[in-house]
């Protein structure tokens, strides 16, 4: 799939940007702070209904405006779809596909598929578990859109259950009876979410191992994924093993129920839900140790990159290419990792790249250039010889430029 057209209004720094796009690589270049990342953030929003930089929507709306709009013409399976998202912080977003409003914004999820790699992805390796859970769930939904409903129902039930737990200590009897109703919802939805995550980790793991070997080169430690859970049955964090049978959703729901019963008193005392997928974590293993707390800066970058390349490979293997978005990453990578990334990016149906300095981007990816400056995004005429077809980059120096 690819975007043929992107328009944003009152989004971040943009009053209006209107951009015709083509398949293949496109590089958005411009000085720092001109709005390059803002444009690809808008593309990411179409895929996840969220931003890779902030967790709330308010910063996405231009100062002084109350609403931002992202509109795109998507080419998918020989068809063209017009996707429009109105971002209304504090109120419900509105989404239309081919001008028909969707009943719920989340029905959009899965239509536009992107894999975005950005400096923020270092948090996948070094950040809190919440970062990795969000990563897993976004990929899950991109792969299996039906799960968007399960995820949001789970979040809603969790909130309500937590609210009830807060009052349970005071109210006693009645509250505990109501709690059991919420336990049922929580464990049923939690079992489905857990089963889907475990399947995803098992499916993604071999791609991560391969991608890391490609990125980090010979002699590097082996990368692997694991899943750690508050429910013993759902995972103890050890590297995923393709021969290990995965528990079913109903088995996981039962295990959740048992665990909740065990921790009931503690939950009531503390007033929060202590068991469930919202407490779990994706574990990134590098050689004998978890990457978090052990991996070097370069290894952490390689791991983050490998995870994103693995997502791309997984989605590609299961359908058409997702749109690859590379935000400001080439300047951070050395020559070897640049070429590993360039190889995948060069083969993707569409790659959107941002860079402050065009020279940071491997020659083979400098197809179409968009100049971003002074509130305008302008497609530049094609370079005489963008070095099409070749992935090797003679100009590579491994130098690191300031972002
Ligand atoms: N809600 C908003 N309203 C207005 N301006 C905003 C808003 N959010 C961010 N900005 C502005 O957008 C600019 C940053 O844009 P962006 O991150 O896209 O820059 P960039 O071109 O990617 O720069 P760099 O090369 O440094 O990564 C900043 O000047 C910031 O003040
Ligand atoms: Mg940027």
Q: What's the maximum distance between 2 C-alpha atoms anywhere in the chain?
A: 77
In tens, the pLDDT along 219-252 reads 999 999 999 999 999 999 999 888 889 999 999 9
Number of Cβ within 10 Å of residue 260's Cβ equals 23
CA geometry: angle 26, 31, 33, nearest 5 deg: 100
334-359: average pLDDT: 93
What's the 31 CA to ligand 2 centre distance in angstroms? Answer: 9
Per-residue model confidence (pLDDT) at position 396:
39
Among all bound ligands, the one having the nearest atom to the CA of 357 is: 1
Question: Which of 82, 108, 105, 110 minimizes the C-alpha distance to 92?
Answer: 105
Residue 173, pLDDT score: 63
Q: Which ligand lies nearest to the CA atom of residue 356 in the structure?
A: 1
Helices 129-143 and 36-48: angle between axes, nearest 10 degrees: 60
Q: Which atom of ligand 1 is nearest to the CA of 34?
A: 21
Q: What is the pLDDT of residue 392?
A: 41
* Res 402 pLDDT > 70: no
Place of tokens 């491994």: 398
Give the number of the atom of ligand 1 that is nearest the alpha carbon of residue 53: 17
What was the pLDDT predicted at 332?
A: 83
Best mutation site among 8, 13, 361 for ligand 1 pocket (most ligand atoms within 8 Å of CB): 13
pLDDT tens-digit readout, 38-68 = 999 999 999 999 999 999 999 999 999 999 9
pLDDT of 394 = 40
The residues spanned by each domain of the chain are 1-113+324-403
How many angstroms does the Cα of residue 13 sit away from the middle of ligand 2? 12
Report CA(370)–ligand 2 centroid distance (Å): 14
Predicted confidence at residue 176, as pLDDT, reads 77
Tens digits of per-residue pLDDT, 162-193? 999 988 777 666 777 788 899 999 999 999 99
Instruction: Assign 389 a pLDDT band (cuts: 50, 70, 90).
Output: very low
* Site residues for ligand 1, CB cut-off 6 Å: 12-13, 30, 32-38, 59, 61-63, 328, 354, 356, 403
User: What is the rounded distance in angstroms from the CA atom of residue 301 to the CA atom of residue 275?
Assistant: 31
Q: What kind and span of H or E run contains 370?
A: strand 368-373
pLDDT of residue 352 exceeding 50, the answer is: yes
CA of 343 to the centre of ligand 2 (A): 22
Q: What is the pLDDT of residue 67?
A: 98
CA of 2 to the centre of ligand 2 (A): 21
- Round the average pLDDT of the chain to a whole number and report it: 92
Q: What is the DSSP letter of 380?
A: E
Asked if pLDDT for residue 324 goes beyond 80, the answer is yes
Q: What is the CATH topology of the domain spanning 1-113+324-403?
A: Rossmann fold (3.40.50)
- Tell me how far the alpha carbon of residue 56 lies from the centroid of ligand 1, in angstroms: 16
Q: Is the pLDDT reported for residue 386 higher than 80? A: no
Mean pLDDT of 194-205: 97
- Say whether pLDDT at 385 is over 90: no
Indicate which residue's Cα is closest to atom 25 of ligand 1: 32
Query: Residue 69 pLDDT more than 50?
Result: yes
Using alpha carbons only, how large is the chain's radius of gyration in Å? 22
- Which ligand 1 atom is the nearest neighbour of the CA of 63? 3
Q: Which residue has the least CA distance to atom 17 on ligand 1? A: 37
pLDDT of residue 391: 42
Alpha helices (H) in 127-248, listed in sequence order: 129-143, 147-171, 173-216
- Whether 400 shows a pLDDT value over 60: the answer reads no
Q: What is the mean pLDDT of residues 4-32?
A: 97
């Amino acid at each position: 799939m690819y975007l043929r057209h992107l328009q944003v209004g009152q989004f971040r720094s943009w009053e209006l940007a209107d951009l015709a796009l083509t398949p293949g690589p496109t590089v958005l270049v411009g000085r720092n702070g001109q709005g390059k990342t803002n444009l690809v953030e808008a593309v990411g929003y179409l895929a996840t209904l969220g931003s890779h930089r902030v967790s709330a929507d308010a910063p996405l709306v231009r100062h002084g405006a109350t609403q931002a709009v992202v509109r795109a013409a998507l080419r998918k399976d020989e068809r063209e779809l017009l996707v429009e998202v109105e971002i209304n912080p504090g109120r419900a977003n509105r989404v239309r596909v081919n001008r028909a409003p969707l009943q719920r914004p989340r029905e959009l999820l899965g239509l536009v598929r992107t894999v975005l790699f950005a400096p923020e992805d270092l948090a996948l390796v070094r950040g809190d578990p919440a970062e990795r859970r969000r990563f897993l769930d976004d990929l899950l939904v991109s792969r299996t859109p039906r799960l968007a409903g399960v995820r949001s129902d789970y979040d809603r039930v969790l909130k309500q259950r937590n609210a009830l737990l807060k009052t349970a200590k005071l109210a006693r009897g009645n509250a505990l009876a109501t709690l059991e109703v919420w336990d049922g919802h929580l464990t049923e939805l939690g079992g489905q979410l857990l089963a889907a995550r475990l399947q995803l980790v098992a499916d993604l793991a071999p791609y991560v191992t391969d991608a890391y070997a490609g990125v980090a080169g010979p002699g590097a430690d082996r990368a692997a994924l694991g899943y750690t859970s508050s429910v013993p049955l759902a995972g103890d964090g050890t590297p995923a093993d393709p021969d290990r049978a995965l528990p079913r959703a109903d088995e996981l729901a039962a295990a959740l129920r048992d665990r909740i019963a065990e921790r009931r008193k503690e939950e009531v005392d503390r007033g929060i839900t202590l068991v469930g997928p919202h407490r779990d974590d994706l574990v990134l293993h590098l050689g004998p140790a978890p990457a978090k707390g052990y991996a070097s800066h370069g290894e952490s970058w390689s791991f983050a990159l490998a995870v994103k390349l693995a997502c791309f490979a997984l989605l590609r293997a299961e359908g058409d290419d997702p749109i690859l978005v590379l935000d400001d990453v080439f300047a951070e990578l050395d020559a070897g990792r640049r070429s590993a990334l360039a190889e995948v990016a060069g083969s993707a149906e569409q790659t959107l790249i941002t860079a402050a300095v065009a020279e940071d981007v491997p020659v083979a990816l400098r197809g179409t250039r968009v100049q971003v400056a002074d509130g305008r995004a302008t497609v530049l005429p094609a370079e005489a010889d963008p070095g099409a077809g070749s992935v090797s980059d003679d100009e590579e120096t491994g130098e690191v430029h300031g972002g």
